[in-house]
C-alpha cells in the first residue's frame, strides 16, 4: 500500500501486534515517544513499562523536535494514544499535524479524565479528525466527540498474523494465566481467585509469567511462575497452553476488555473469561471465549477441555478463525480511513 503511519504514545504488546498487522498490508508504522514526558512520573518507569528504553522498536523524539521530524518523515496519518491520568505525550502533535495537513487520529484505549479540567486533552479531542475507542461504553471524551459531530468509531483490541496457532509447538502446559496482577486492585485479585479456586479443586496449577508482587488475597501455592515474556515470545508462550485464563476482563465494568483475551484466542487457545453481555455480543456466534461465573464453572470447563481433546481443538480453531477474520488491526483501520476519505 506504500503508506506511512506515525504512532505517538508508547510501544506495548498491543502496539507490537498492531505493527505486525500494518506491516502485513505493506504499511510502514513508526513509533515515537517524548522521553521527557514518558519518564515524568513513576508510571512510565515501572518495570512493566520498561519498553521506553527499547530503541529497537521505538524512537525518541522530544516535543521540541517533533515538527522537524514530521516535516521530513511526512506520514499519511498520525495516531495519538493517551494513557489514563498520565502526561500527554507530544502535546503539540495535533497542532503540527494541522500545520502540515496530516490527518490526526486519536486512539483511546483507556478511560480518560474529565476533559473540562485538562486543556491539552480538550484541544486534542476538538482538533482530531477521527476518534477511535477500544472499550464499548460511554466515556466523557466519546460523549464530547459525539456532541461535536466528530467521526467516532468503536475500535476494540485486535490481532495480526503474529497471534496465530503454531502447530509445531507442543502444548505441554495445561493452564496459563495471562495478565498483570495489580495488587492494589482488589477486583482483579478477586477475579483471579475465582479461577484459582476452580483449578485447585481439580488438583491443578496455573502457569503465570512475570514478577508478580506478593498479595495477601492470592494463593500463590496454586501458581507456577515463569519469567516475563516480551514481543515475539508472547505467541510462542501462549501456543504452549491448552487453556488460557483471562482474569483482566473484570465484571464490574461492562464494555471493557483485555488485549490478552484477543491474543490467546488468536493463538488458538481455549480462553476462559468472566461473563459479560458486551463480550458475548462481540463474539456472537462462536464458543471461544468460554464464559464462567464462579469457581464451579471454572472446574467444570477445565476438566471438560482437558479430557475432551476434540472439543478443545474444535472450539479453539473456531475462535481463532473468527477473531482473525473480524479483528485484524489494519483491515478495520483501513476501512475507517477509506470511509473518512483520508486515503
C-alpha cell at 121: 486533552
pLDDT of residue 184: 63
Phi, psi dihedrals of residue 190, rounded to the nearest 5°: -65, -45
Q: What is the pLDDT of residue 148?
A: 80
User: What pLDDT score does 286 carry?
Assistant: 94
> What's the whole-model pTM score?
0.92
| CA–CA dist 303, 224 (Å, integer) | 19
Q: Are 205 and 137 in contact (CB under 8 A)?
A: no
CB neighbours of residue 257 within 10 Å: 22
pLDDT at 272: 98
Rounded CA-CA distance 264/271 in Å is 7
Give the C-alpha separation, 295 to 272, whole Å.
11
Domains of the chain in sequence order: 4-158+328-339 (3.40.50.2000), 173-326 (3.40.50.2000)
What SS3 class is residue 179?
A: coil
Q: At what angle do helices 295-307 and 186-201 cross, to 10 degrees?
A: 50
User: What pLDDT shows up at residue 236?
Assistant: 95
Could you tell me the strand order of the sheet in which 241-246 lies? 223-226, 206-209, 173-177, 241-246, 270-274, 290-292
Q: What is the pLDDT of residue 315?
A: 97
Q: What local confidence, expressed as pLDDT, does residue 127 receive?
A: 83
Alpha helices (H) in the chain, listed in sequence order: 13-24, 35-38, 42-45, 63-73, 93-100, 119-127, 140-147, 186-201, 233-239, 259-266, 277-282, 295-307, 309-326, 329-339
Give the DSSP per-residue string, 5-71.
EEEES---HHHHHHHHHHHHTT-EEEEEE-HHHHTSSHHHHSGGGGGGG-TTT-EE--HHHHHHHHH
Report the distance separating Cα 130 and Cα 98, nearest Å. 13
Residue 222 cell numbers, joined:
496454586
Q: pLDDT tens digits for the chain (343 residues)?
A: 799 999 998 888 899 999 999 999 999 999 998 877 666 665 555 555 555 556 678 888 999 999 999 999 999 999 999 876 677 788 899 999 999 999 999 998 876 666 666 677 777 778 889 999 998 887 777 787 888 888 999 999 999 999 999 999 999 999 999 988 776 667 888 889 999 999 999 999 999 998 787 777 788 888 999 998 888 899 999 999 999 999 988 777 788 889 999 999 999 999 999 999 999 999 999 999 999 999 999 999 999 999 999 999 999 999 999 999 999 999 999 999 999 999 9
Please state, in angstroms and as integers, the Cα–Cα distance from residue 273 to each residue in 58, 203, 228, 293, 307, following that order.
32, 20, 22, 9, 20
Amino acid at each position: 500500500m506504500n503508506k506511512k503511519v506515525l504512532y505517538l504514545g508508547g510501544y506495548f504488546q498491543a502496539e507490537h501486534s498492531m505493527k505486525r498487522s500494518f506491516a502485513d498490508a505493506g504499511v510502514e508504522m513508526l513509533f515515537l515517544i517524548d522521553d521527557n514526558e514518558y519518564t515524568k512520573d513513576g508510571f512510565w518507569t515501572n518495570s512493566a513499562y520498561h519498553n521506553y528504553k527499547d530503541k529497537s522498536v521505538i524512537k525518541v523524539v522530544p516535543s521540541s523536535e517533533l515538527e522537524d521530524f514530521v516535516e521530513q518523515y511526512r506520514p499519511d496519518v498520525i495516531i495519538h494514544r493517551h494513557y489514563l491520568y498520565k502526561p500527554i505525550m507530544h502535546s503539540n502533535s495535533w497542532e503540527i499535524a494541522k500545520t502540515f495537513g496530516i490527518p490526526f487520529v486519536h486512539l483511546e484505549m483507556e478511560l480518560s479524565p474529565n476533559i473540562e479540567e485538562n486543556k491539552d486533552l480538550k484541544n486534542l479531542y476538538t482538533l482530531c479528525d477521527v476518534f477511535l475507542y477500544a472499550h464499548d461504553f460511554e466515556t466523557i471524551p466519546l460523549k464530547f466527540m459525539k456532541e461535536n459531530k466528530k467521526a467516532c468509531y468503536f475500535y476494540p483490541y485486535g490481532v495480526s498474523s503474529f497471534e496465530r496457532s503454531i502447530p509445531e509447538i507442543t502444548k505441554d502446559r495445561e493452564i496459563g494465566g495471562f495478565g498483570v496482577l495489580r495488587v492494589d486492585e482488589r477486583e482483579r485479585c478477586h477475579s483471579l481467585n475465582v479461577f484459582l479456586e476452580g483449578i485447585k479443586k481439580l488438583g491443578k496449577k496455573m502457569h503465570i509469567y512475570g514478577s508478580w508482587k506478593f498479595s495477601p488475597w492470592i494463593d500463590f501455592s496454586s501458581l507456577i511462575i515463569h519469567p516475563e515474556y516480551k514481543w515475539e515470545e508472547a505467541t510462542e508462550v501462549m501456543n504452549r497452553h491448552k487453556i488460557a485464563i483471562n482474569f483482566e476482563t473484570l465484571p464490574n465494568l461492562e464494555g471493557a476488555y483485555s488485549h490478552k483475551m484477543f491474543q490467546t484466542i488468536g493463538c488458538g487457545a481455549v480462553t476462559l473469561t468472566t461473563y459479560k453481555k458486551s463480550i458475548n455480543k462481540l463474539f456472537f456466534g462462536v464458543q471461544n471465549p468460554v464464559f464462567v461465573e464462579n469457581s464451579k464453572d471454572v472446574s467444570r470447563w477445565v476438566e471438560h477441555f482437558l479430557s475432551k481433546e476434540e472439543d478443545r481443538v474444535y472450539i479453539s480453531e473456531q475462535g481463532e478463525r473468527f477473531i482473525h477474520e473480524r479483528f485484524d488491526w489494519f483491515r478495520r483501520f483501513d476501512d475507517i480511513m477509506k470511509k473518512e476519505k483520508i486515503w
